Amino acid sequence: MTEQDHDFGEVRSRRPVSFLFTFKNISKDTILLQTVRTTCGCTAARYTEEPVPPGDTGEVNIEYDAEQNGSFRKKIRVFFDRQRKPEILWIEGEVN
């Protein structure tokens, strides 16, 4: 992953914001992003579903739709087919 934390700063309630995380396959084998798990219904993920050959890049697009005011920090787990442990992404910010 090129970046694993993203701070949205101040966001408005009920106005979805999104961020595109990218990753590069640095292994010698083709990898497959199996699934992305978020910790709440306020966070949605779209991601590269095709196999990613060595040297190519893929994407994980995270959308956060806040309903409650205050600060937030959400964990996103990204599962690849050749790793036992997920990669962890974080989004955070302050909802007004």
Q: Which of 52, 86, 66 is nearest to 10 (CA)?
A: 66
Question: What pLDDT does 2 receive?
Answer: 63
pTM: 0.92
Specify the pLDDT at position 28.
95
Total of domains in the chain: 1
| Domain range for 87 | 5-95
pLDDT tens for residues 9-46? 999 999 999 999 999 999 999 999 999 999 989 999 99
The CATH number covering residue 65 comes to 2.60.40.10
**How do residues 36-68 score in pLDDT, each as one tens digit?**
999 989 999 999 999 999 999 999 999 999 988
